[in-house]
A and B are shown apart, each in its own frame.
Chain A
Amino acid sequence: MDEVSTTQPGNFKDEWGPMDDVRPVFSTGVGINEETIQAISRAKHEPQWMLDLRLQAYQIYQSMPMPSFGPDLSEIDLNEIKYFQRATDRIARNWEDVPDEIKTTFERIGVPEAERKYLAGSAAQYESEAVYHNLKQDLESQGIIFMDTDSTLKQHPELVRQYFGKLIAASDNKFAALNTAVWSGGTFLYVPKNVHADVPIQSYFRINAGRTGQFERTLIIVDEGGSVNYVEGCTAPNYAEDSLHAAVVEVFVKKDAYCRYTTIQNWSTNVYSLETKRAQAEANSTMEWVDGNLGSKVTMKYPSIYLTGAGATGSMLSIAAAGANMHQDTGAKMIHLAPNTHSTIVSKAICHNGGRADYRGLIKYTKAAKRAKSHVECDTILMDQDSASDTFPVNDIETSDGTIEHEAHVSKISEAQLYYLKSRGLDEATASQLIIMGFLEPFTKQLPMEYAVELDRLIKFQMEDSIG
Chain B
Amino acid sequence: MSKLEIRNLKVNAGDERILNGVNLQINPGEIHALMGPNGTGKSTLSETIMGNPLYEIVDGQIWLDGQDITEMSVDERARTAVFLAMQYPMEVAGISNADFIHAALNARNQGQPVAVLPFLKQLKANMEFLEINPEYADRGLNADFSGGEKKRNEILQMMMLRPEMAILDEIDSGLDIDALKIVAKGINAMRSTTFSCLMVTHYQRLLNYVVPDVVHIMMDGRIVKSGGPELATDLEKTGYAELEETLGSETSHGNSLE
Contact = CB atoms under 8 A, between A and B. Distances in A.
A315 B104 CA distance: 36
Interface stretch (B92-100, B172-180, B190-198): B92-100
Interface string B219-258: 0000000000000000000000000000000000000000
A420 interface: yes
B107 A425 contact: yes
B135 to A, nearest CB: 16
Given A425-B104, A434-B95, A441-B93, A420 B86 contact: yes
Contacts of B141: 438
B75 A428 contact: yes
Nearest to B80: A425
Nearest to A426: B107
Contact of A424 (B52, B93, B140, B161): B161
Interface in B91-120: 92-95, 100-101, 103-104, 107-108
B53 interface: yes
A430 B95 contact: no
Given A427-B107, A438-B95, A422 B90 contact: no
B137 to A, nearest CB: 16
Nearest to B85: A423
A332 interface: no
Nearest to A445: B94
Range of interface residues on A (Cβ < 8 Å)? 20 to 34
Nearest to B143: A438
Q: Tell me if A's interface is mostly helix, strand, loop or mixed.
A: helix
Counting chain B CB atoms within 10 Å of each CB, the highest count among A422, A423, A438, A440 belongs to A423
B73 interface: yes
Nearest to B73: A422
A420 B107 contact: no
A421 interface: yes
B62 interface: no
B47 to A, nearest CB: 9
Nearest to A443: B94
A438 B92 contact: yes
Contacts of A426: 75, 103-104, 107
A31 B92 CA distance: 52
A413 to B, nearest CB: 11
A425 B79 contact: yes
Contacts of B92: 417, 420-421, 434-435, 438
A459 to B, nearest CB: 12
A426 B102 CA distance: 11
A420 B84 CA distance: 9
Interface centre among A414, A416, A424, A439 (most CB of B within 10 A): A424
Contact of B78 (A422, A437, A438): A422
Contacts of A419: 52-53, 74, 90
Contact of B94 (A423, A427, A437): A437
Contacts, number: 72
Contacts of A442: 94
B39 interface: no
Contacts of A431: 75
B89 interface: yes
Interface string A50-88: 000000000000000000000000000000000000000
B184 interface: no
Interface string A335-371: 0000000000000000000000000000000000000
A420 B93 CA distance: 13
Contacts of B75: 422-423, 425-428, 431
B210 interface: no
Given A424-B161, A425-B79, A438 B93 contact: yes
B94 A424 contact: no
Given A425-B78, A426-B103, A440 B84 contact: no
B61 interface: no
Interface in B116-150: 140-141
A442 B143 CA distance: 14
Nearest to B74: A422
A416 B142 CA distance: 14
Nearest to A431: B75
B168 interface: no
A423 B50 contact: yes
26 contacts: A416-B90, A417-B92, A419-B74, A423-B74, A423-B83, A424-B78, A424-B101, A424-B104, A424-B107, A425-B78, A425-B104, A425-B108, A426-B75, A426-B107, A427-B107, A434-B103, A435-B92, A437-B94, A438-B93, A438-B94, A438-B141, A439-B93, A441-B93, A441-B95, A441-B140, A442-B94
Given A421-B92, A438-B140, 14 more contacts: A417-B92, A423-B84, A424-B101, A424-B157, A426-B103, A427-B107, A431-B75, A434-B95, A434-B100, A434-B103, A437-B95, A438-B92, A441-B93, A441-B140
Interface of B: 50, 52-53, 73-75, 78-79, 83-84, 86, 89-90, 92-95, 100-101, 103-104, 107-108, 140-141, 157, 161
Which 9 residue pairs of A and B lie closest in terms of their CB atoms, listed nearest first?
A438-B94, A441-B94, A424-B104, A425-B78, A420-B90, A438-B95, A425-B107, A422-B74, A422-B75
